[in-house]
């Protein structure tokens, strides 16, 4: 049953009235009170009808919304709660609401990078406890991918705040290629997640091109004076990454036409879960294999995606990507054909 905002406001106002046991409420009193409330909260000045309020009372009495409100009429005139301690705010959750709450709690538990959710951890624990009290213990019906060993999540809130408030950052960063950490001043623009790993898209103070820093390689972050922050004036990031798998891209990179042949066994998976949003089906062969086209930047993440399918995908175009995959596949083969090494 769909419930609109105004109906919920009316139920709340009626509930507030009936909880006031020191006063007797006629139907006209409730109509007037609801009309005043709608005007004050929503600017509605044409009042509310008698039929609407009577319908609201019937719904509150029923189990349609799980209220089962004990509304009674005294002397065939005055409305009140038979139970003075009753309120629709105290009514138990329906089975449907309970299920949705459990799923929401499961999702919140996985969003552990932002300190907002750290601060909510106590509330989440209490929600879980109350939900388990309210119903029998059930098997979890939702499970999200997560990596509890992932480093760098502690920086998310700091970086998110710096992006919103346009604050330059002094970041101590050690790349995988560097033997020691380096300090640098960066202007942060975007937090981006790819396969459970988080990245900061930013511009170094001493550079002109965008940089991509992995949060798990950051050793320290310090906020600097907001004075001198350089805004990002390029294309919006939704479009910037529209032709990209992952995060590896320079401002000069552009999507290229990539044509792949997928064998019949993997064709259904690629069709139902496209490799990229630009994916187009070009041809379906008699043997069930397919030709698909992608328009994407040629980067490491694309190569890894293709190699992940092993022998089930072949690159046809462009030639440079085809040769790169061929070289990597050959090096992989060499590792398995060289003399065995005792482990």
Q: Which domain holds residue 104?
A: 95-134
**Residues 184 and 203 grouped into a single domain:** yes
Domains of the chain: total: 4
Tell me the mean pLDDT in the region 144-159: 81
**Residues 109 and 77 grouped into a single domain:** no
Q: Residue 44 pLDDT > 80, yes or no?
A: yes
Question: Binning pLDDT at 50, 70 and 90, where does residue 2 land?
Answer: very low
Q: What is the pLDDT of residue 1?
A: 38
**Residues 157 and 119 grouped into a single domain:** no
Residue 163, both tokens:
């992006």
**Residues 10 and 72 grouped into a single domain:** yes
**Residues 120 and 162 grouped into a single domain:** no
Helix axes 95-110, 121-134, angle to 10 degrees: 150
Three-state SS string over the chain comes to CCCCHHHHHHHHHHHHHHCCCCCCECHHHHHHHHHHHHHHHHCCCCCCCHHHHHHHHHHHHCCCCCCCCCEEEECCCEEEECCCCCCHHHCCCCHHHHHHHHHHHHHHHHCCCCHHHHHCHHHHHHHHHHHHHHCCCCCCCCCCCCCCCCCCHHHHHHHHHHHHHCCCEEEEECCCCCCCCEEEEEEEEEEEEECCEEEEEEEECCCCCCEEEEHHHEEEEEECCCCCCCCCCCCCHHHHCCCCCCCCCCCCCCCEEEEEEECCCCHHHHHHCCCCCCCEEEEECCCCCEEEEEEECCCHHHHHHHHCCHHHEEEEECHHHHHHHHHHHHHHHHHHHCCCCCC
Tell me the mean pLDDT in the region 101-108: 64
Q: What is the pLDDT of residue 89?
A: 79
With beta carbons less than 8 A apart as the criterion, state whether 107 and 142 touch: yes
**Residues 9 and 83 grouped into a single domain:** yes
Q: Residue 143 pLDDT > 70, yes or no?
A: no
Cα-to-chain-centroid distance, residue 236: 20
Tell me the mean pLDDT in the region 231-243: 93
**Residues 319 and 302 grouped into a single domain:** yes
Instruction: Give the residue, 58 or 138, on which the prediction is more confident.
Output: 58
Question: Binning pLDDT at 50, 70 and 90, where does residue 116 land?
Answer: low
Q: Residue 125 pLDDT > 60, yes or no?
A: no
**Residues 72 and 33 grouped into a single domain:** yes
CATH code for the domain in which residue 71 is found: 1.10.10.10
Q: What is the pLDDT of residue 285?
A: 95
**Residues 67 and 114 grouped into a single domain:** no
Residue 47 within any structural domain of the chain: yes
Residue 145 within any structural domain of the chain: no
Question: Binning pLDDT at 50, 70 and 90, where does residue 4 land?
Answer: confident
Mean pLDDT of the chain: 86
Q: What angle do CA 34, 38, 43 make, to 5 degrees?
A: 155
Residue 240 within any structural domain of the chain: no
Q: What is the pLDDT of residue 311?
A: 94
pTM of the shown model: 0.62
Q: What is the pLDDT of residue 96?
A: 61
Residue partners of 212: CB distance under 8 A and separation at least 6: 199, 200, 201, 247, 248, 249
Tell me the mean pLDDT in the region 131-156: 67
Residue 119 within any structural domain of the chain: yes
Residue 247 within any structural domain of the chain: no
Q: Residue 109 pLDDT > 80, yes or no?
A: no
Residue 238 within any structural domain of the chain: no
Tell me the mean pLDDT in the region 107-120: 58
**Residues 311 and 263 grouped into a single domain:** yes
**Residues 107 and 83 grouped into a single domain:** no
Tell me the mean pLDDT in the region 246-269: 95
* C-alpha pair distances (Å), 226 with each of 67, 85, 159, 182, 204: 52, 54, 14, 22, 15
User: How does pLDDT run across 184-217, given as a tens digit for each residue?
Assistant: 999 999 999 998 899 999 999 988 899 999 999 9
Q: Residue 112 pLDDT > 60, yes or no?
A: no
Instruction: Point out which residues pair with 128 in neighbouring strands.
Output: none
CATH code for the domain in which residue 216 is found: 2.30.30
Find the range with the poorest average confidence among 133-137, 162-166, 288-292. 133-137
Residue 66 within any structural domain of the chain: yes
Q: Residue 128 pLDDT > 60, yes or no?
A: no
Q: Residue 242 pLDDT > 80, yes or no?
A: yes
Find the range with the poorest average confidence among 16-25, 136-145, 301-310. 136-145
**Residues 222 and 260 grouped into a single domain:** no
């Amino acid at each position: 049953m769909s419930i609109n905002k105004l109906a919920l406001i009316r139920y709340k106002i009626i509930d507030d009235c009936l909880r006031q046991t020191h006063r007797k409420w006629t139907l006209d009193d409730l109509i007037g009170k609801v009309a005043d409330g709608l005007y004050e909260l929503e600017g509605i000045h044409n009042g509310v009808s008698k039929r609407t309020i009577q319908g609201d009372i019937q719904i509150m009495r029923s189990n349609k919304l799980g209220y089962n409100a004990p509304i009674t009429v005294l002397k065939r005139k005055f409305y009140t709660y038979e139970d003075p301690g009753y309120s629709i705010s105290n009514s138990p959750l329906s089975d449907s609401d309970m299920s949705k709450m459990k799923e929401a709690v499961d999702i919140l538990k996985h969003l552990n990078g932002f300190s907002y959710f750290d601060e909510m951890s106590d509330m989440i624990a209490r929600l879980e406890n109350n939900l388990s009290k309210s119903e029998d213990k059930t098997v979890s019906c939702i499970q999200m991918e997560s990596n509890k060993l992932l480093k760098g999540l502690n920086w998310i809130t700091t970086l998110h705040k710096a992006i919103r408030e346009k604050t330059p950052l002094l970041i101590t960063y050690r790349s995988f290629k560097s033997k020691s950490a380096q300090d640098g001043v960066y202007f942060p623009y975007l937090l981006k997640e790819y396969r459970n790993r988080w990245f900061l898209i930013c511009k170094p103070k001493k550079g002109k091109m965008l940089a991509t820093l992995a949060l798990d390689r950051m050793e320290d972050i310090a906020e600097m004076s907001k004075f001198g922050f350089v805004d990002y004036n390029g294309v919006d990031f939704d479009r910037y990454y529209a032709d990209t798998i992952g995060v590896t891209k320079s401002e000069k990179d552009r999507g290229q036409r990539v044509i792949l042949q997928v064998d019949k066994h993997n064709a259904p998976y690629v069709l139902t879960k496209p490799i990229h949003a630009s994916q187009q089906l070009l041809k379906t062969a008699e043997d069930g294999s397919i030709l698909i086209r992608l328009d994407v930047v040629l980067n490491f993440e694309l190569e890894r995606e293709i190699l992940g399918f092993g022998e089930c995908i072949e690159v046809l175009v462009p030639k440079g990507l085809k040769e790169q995959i061929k070289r990597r596949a050959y090096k992989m083969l060499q590792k398995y054909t060289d003399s065995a090494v005792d482990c």
